[in-house]
Amino acid sequence: MKMNGANALVQSLVDHGVEIIFGIPGGVMIPIYDALYDRKDIRNMLMRHEQGAAHAADGYARATGKVGVCFATSGPGATNLVTGLATAQMDSIPVLAVTGQCRTTAIGKDSFQEADITGITMPITKHNYLVKDAAQIPRIVAEALYIARTGRPGPVLIDVPMDMSLAEIEYEPVKDVKIRSYSPEREIDDSAIDAAAQLIADAERPVLYAGGGVIASGASDELLALSEKTHILVTTTLLGKGAIPETHPHSLGMLGMHGTAYANHAVHNCDLLIAVGARFDDRVTGKLAAFARKARVIHIDIDPAEIGKTVPADVAIIGDCKEILRRLVSKVQPRSETDWNKQIMKWRNEFPLVCPMDEERLLPQCVIAKIWEMTRGDVILVTDVGQHQMFTALHYKVTKPRRFLSSGGLGTMGYGLPAAIGAQVGCPNETVVAICGDGGFQMTVQELAPAVEHKLPIKICLMNNKYLGMVRQWQELFWNNRYSGVDISVQPDFVKLAEAYGAVGLRVTKMSEIEPAFGKALEVNDRPTIIDFVIHREENVFPMIPAGQSIEEMMVNRPK
């Protein structure tokens, strides 16, 4: 069938099952937006800033497991995607970005709204394309989606010059993708699985450490099966939350800088660390020389480059976590509970996660704990970045994979609201709760408009301390209380702001108001609700292991 490049692009997306695009048009995107105009099988959700579009695509991808797609125009539209793409790259999230570009004849001439977006995004995408032959558009779209979702997932960008959108081509759907230089499928080495099973049999103090790779590969059931068969307890990274139900007695919660004390003690003292789809990030390990130094390491990951990148592995198993765990479960000897399990239980009792009873002040961890009590993990929980994110990671027990969305690797403030939009669009029947700080929320607050426009009943819980709180916490603890550049007490009235956008605005100033307010928010089903939780300004996140240090320096409470 004859059609222009723009229609070929849209048709290719539809052929590959894409139903929704988060984007904003611009001059060179008009042909592509025109191609969307009459279609019923794919729609554009008009965002208000391209960063929001990229995060929405990311949130959609994390919540559904499908590739999230975003569109932006050339130049500033494309450069505004950068933060969102870098976020997706760091967390291995499948996102496809399509950007407009000036005509091929104008490229390299500093033309209006020209930016070398393939050059700019090279380090923050898994791969990218500049279309130079419109006939290749169906193949490029097929390849881009394939690359984004296979192997270790990641963002892919296609830059489409205006003349490529306008060129007439003969459209042939592309079904099979074969890229000779890219083969994500690999044979799993069964001898490595045997070696791992042997290490597990020999270990006295094993711990499972699960990351986002478990979620990406859908390996939660297998992880739980391994844990239950061996009675090995599981700690997860931030991105691994939900890999095992955190209500399960085998869950130790999150490890690392703001991990639970018992998870960190378990990892510090273990003699075997089984890393599954995790990459030994510095927020997990702290000081490398002191990290799990008594432990042998089994490292399971789909990306060979992660093996030995920071922590050497005694046994490395490369491939899809789900299949590897399935084989490992059948190979390992069952183990029963040991003194090691009891020891971890002892740490759990010694260093419990507590919410201080405080009727005077509204404490963020208590708000989160209350929200957990009222929802019991039965929501998609999205966070922004900062103190509230760590409070949530500690106090909200996630019970299923793809039900906790957070920017981990890049730590992108402003992620929360647009990612929640993507999640709500992808999962219209789920309750989506976005926990944000007042700082991050204001970085992408404009996305309230599309949330209202599309009647998305997102519950936005603002942990409002009028500070860039995590930086303030560091300044308090390590910089002698010199609160430089963190006071954001000049801010809008968020209740009025919500109302101005056509959302519901509520304010909570004391503990007793949490339940009625959040209960009310749960009843709103046709628009977003913002609850402005006016929290104690100087509450800190504990436990905390200061950056680059070891568990010996862990603070479980505010130092006297």
Partner 1 sequence: MRKPMQHTITVLVENKPGVLARVSGLFARRGFNIESLAVSITDDPTISRMTIVVTGDDSVLDQINKQTNKLIDVIKVIDYSEVPIVERELAMIKVAAEPARRAEIMQIVDIFQAKIIDISETTFTIEVTGSTEKVDAIERLLAPFGIREVVRTGKIAMARGATTAIDQVNSG
Question: Which positions touch partner 1 (CB under 8 A)?
Answer: 118-119, 122-123, 126-127, 130, 147, 179-182, 303-305, 307-309
Amino acid code (one letter) for 130: L
Q: How far is the CB of 16 from partner 1 (least distance, A)?
A: 18
All residues at 6 or more sequence positions from 119 whose CB lies less than 8 Å from its CB, including other chains: none
Question: 44: helix, coil or strand?
Answer: strand
Report strand pairing: 2-4 vs 168-170: antiparallel
Q: Which two tokens stand for residue 255?
A: 């490890």
Q: How far is the CB of 284 from partner 1 (least distance, A)?
A: 19
Q: How far is the CB of 362 from partner 1 (least distance, A)?
A: 43
Compare residues 119 and 352 and give the one whose CB is closer to partner 1.
119
**What are the residues facing 506 on neighbouring strands?**
531
Q: Which two tokens stand for residue 455?
A: 């009647």
Compare residues 130 and 545 and give the one whose CB is closer to partner 1.
130
Compare residues 128 and 236 and give the one whose CB is closer to partner 1.
128
Q: How far is the CB of 95 from partner 1 (least distance, A)?
A: 16
Q: Which long-range contacts (CB under 8 A, 24 or more apart) does 500-505 make?
A: 501/448, 501/449, 501/452, 501/528, 502/452, 502/527, 503/448, 503/451, 503/452, 503/527, 503/528, 503/529, 503/530, 504/528, 504/529, 504/530, 505/529, 505/530, 505/532
Compare residues 160 and 521 and give the one whose CB is closer to partner 1.
160
Cβ distance 67 to 149 under 8 Å?
Answer: yes
Q: How far is the CB of 276 from partner 1 (least distance, A)?
A: 19
Q: How far is the CB of 505 from partner 1 (least distance, A)?
A: 44
Distance CA 57, CA 455 (A): 18
Q: Which two tokens stand for residue 539?
A: 């509450």
Q: How far is the CB of 315 from partner 1 (least distance, A)?
A: 16
Q: How far is the CB of 168 from partner 1 (least distance, A)?
A: 24
Compare residues 152 and 402 and give the one whose CB is closer to partner 1.
152
Peptide bond into 543 cis (omega under 30): yes
Compare residues 136 and 549 and give the one whose CB is closer to partner 1.
136
Q: Which two tokens stand for residue 377?
A: 């993990």
Q: Which two tokens stand for residue 434?
A: 């976005």
Compare residues 108 and 356 and give the one whose CB is closer to partner 1.
108
Q: How far is the CB of 304 from partner 1 (least distance, A)?
A: 5
Q: How far is the CB of 92 from partner 1 (least distance, A)?
A: 12
Rounded to 10 degrees, the C-alpha dihedral 358/368/279/273 comes to 60
Compare residues 179 and 354 and give the one whose CB is closer to partner 1.
179
Distance CA 243, CA 399 (A): 8
Compare residues 123 and 334 and give the one whose CB is closer to partner 1.
123
Distance CA 50, CA 540 (A): 33
Orientation of helix 82-90 relative to helix 50-64, angle to 10° = 30
Compare residues 148 and 456 and give the one whose CB is closer to partner 1.
148
Cβ distance 534 to 508 under 8 Å?
Answer: yes
Which H/E stretch holds residue 412? Answer: none
Q: Count the neighbouring beta carbons within 10 Å of the beta carbon of residue 207.
A: 26
Distance CA 392, CA 32 (A): 40
